Amino acid sequence: MTKYVVDIHALIWFIEGNSKLGINAKTILEDTENKLILSVIVLAGAMQSFAYLTPDTLF
């Protein structure tokens, strides 16, 4: 198991499926064996970024 600290942009781009996320970051985030560390500010920022979305605009 490897630990990684996740940045807000990487988290948002991963959730969105955005092509701005690099292949290495995507591989790390997809690997269920990795331990991902998210700071409270990253989670708060991600929640704020998606707060305006409705369920039908997410996918």
Task: Calculate ∠ Cα 21-37-4, nearest 5°.
Answer: 60
pTM: 0.70
Amino acid at 15: I
List, for residues 34-46, the tens digit of each pLDDT value: 999 988 887 787 7
Amino acid at 30: E
Instruction: Give the pLDDT score at 41.
Output: 81
> CB-hemisphere CA count at 13 Å for 30?
10
Instruction: Give the pLDDT score at 39.
Output: 86
Instruction: Give the pLDDT score at 35.
Output: 97
Q: Mean pLDDT for each consecutive 10-residue tract of the chain (59 residues)?
A: 90 90 96 92 78 63
Instruction: Give the pLDDT score at 34.
Output: 97
